[in-house]
Structure 1
């Protein structure tokens, strides 16, 4: 009984986390759209435009902070969701859609964070990307081509920022929202199916108990001679 209780708690927690994931995805998307009004995806303008947003645009610093928190929170909650689904024994074949969408969502959240590191055109993001591009270039066969696609064929510059901005804002963001909705829908549908199955099992158990139950027999009084009494 304890294991069933814990599984129920983890299943319900997985549904709550899936709802939080959708909320974080939409929050990041909405704040990203607001930032896009003032953001300039270029090597020189990216940093200056973000500084303008933080210092001159009304509530710009708040929108920028919420956007960063939503992105980082999406990564954390997605990783926690995978753990909760495992503890809730949602690794059965019937939960395949929820598992696939959950894993893709986690990868998309990590990719969103990775593509955002150069969008502020800071020293930390620049040198971090430089090191990671060297790792990508070392991949056999496709490494050099993949690096050329990401950077625009040359050194890290305006084309690199534009490519990362496009991937971050249009490809990964839209994909993350779609996967988050699919993930939540899959978990809710499986919860409904599991509840119906549990109710059906309980009903069958009651029917079986009623069919196998024995009605108590009326006791027969004994006479003093050891025989049954006759009326």
Structure 2
């Protein structure tokens, strides 16, 4: 009984977290669209445009703050979801779908944070990206090619900001929402399957109890069955 309650709590918690993940993904996407009206993906211009959004656009600082919080919250909740999914260990088809999608969602959330590193064009973001690019370049065989693809030529320039902005806004954001929908769908299917299974088990137990009660209330039938067994 305690095991069933434990599994029920984990399933329900996973579903609640999945709803939170989808909500955070949508909030980040909507605020990102609003920021895109004023943001300039260019070296130098990125910093100036973000300063203009924060100081000149009406409620711009609120949109910036909400966008940052949604992105960081998406990473945190996705990591918690992986732990909950692992503890659940209900590897049916729907649970396995939710498990794989939770891993992909966490990786996507981390990638969103990584691609946003240079989008504000600050010194901190610039040097962090420089270190990260050095790590990428150290990958055997394909490191140099990956660095050129990310940066648009090797050096951190406007092309780098444009490439990462495209990945951040048009590929990873859409992917995060799609994976969040798949993840939530898998958990809802799991909930429905478990509910159907519980109904079947309850019906089976009720039928067994009814037969047992009927046998106890009908001693003649019980004695006949006993005599037949002795023969």
TM-score (norm 1): 0.91
Residues 64-79 of structure 1: pairs in structure 2 closer than 5 A: 64-79=64-79
CA–CA separation in structure 2 for the residues paired with 1:41 and 1:22: 27
Does the CA contact (< 8 Å) of 1:85 and 1:91 recur in 2? no
The answer to whether the aligner puts 1:45 opposite 2:45 as a matched pair is yes
Which secondary structure does the structure 2 equivalent of 1:76 belong to?
Answer: helix
Correspondence for 2:82: 82
Correspondence for 2:60: 60
The answer to whether the aligner puts 1:161 opposite 2:130 as a matched pair is no
CA–CA separation in structure 1 for the residues paired with 2:95 and 2:205: 25
Q: 1:211 to 1:54 in 2, by over 3 A?
A: same
RMSD: 1.5
The answer to whether the aligner puts 1:172 opposite 2:172 as a matched pair is yes
Deviation at 1:4, TM superposition (A): 1.6
Query: Structure 1: which 5+ residue stretches go unaligned?
Result: 220-231
Decide which structure has greater helix share: 2
The answer to whether the aligner puts 1:34 opposite 2:34 as a matched pair is yes
Deviation at 1:212, TM superposition (A): 4.3
Does the CA contact (< 8 Å) of 1:79 and 1:106 recur in 2? yes
CA–CA separation in structure 2 for the residues paired with 1:208 and 1:63: 60
The answer to whether the aligner puts 1:147 opposite 2:147 as a matched pair is yes
Largest Rg, 1 or 2: 1
The superposition leaves residues 152-178 of structure 1 with CA deviations (integer Å, 9 ceiling, x where unpaired) of: 013101000000000000000000000
The superposition leaves residues 117-158 of structure 1 with CA deviations (integer Å, 9 ceiling, x where unpaired) of: 100011111101101101100111111111100000131010
Does the CA contact (< 8 Å) of 1:13 and 1:84 recur in 2? yes
User: How many equivalent residue pairs?
Assistant: 219
Does the CA contact (< 8 Å) of 2:94 and 2:189 recur in 1? no
CA–CA separation in structure 2 for the residues paired with 1:14 and 1:208: 34
CA–CA separation in structure 2 for the residues paired with 1:177 and 1:168: 13
Correspondence for 1:193: 193
The superposition leaves residues 186-230 of structure 1 with CA deviations (integer Å, 9 ceiling, x where unpaired) of: 1011101110011111111222333345324669xxxxxxxxxxx
| Regions of 4+ moved over 4 Å | 216-219
The superposition leaves residues 17-66 of structure 1 with CA deviations (integer Å, 9 ceiling, x where unpaired) of: 10011100000000000000000000110001000000000000000000
The answer to whether the aligner puts 1:13 opposite 2:48 as a matched pair is no
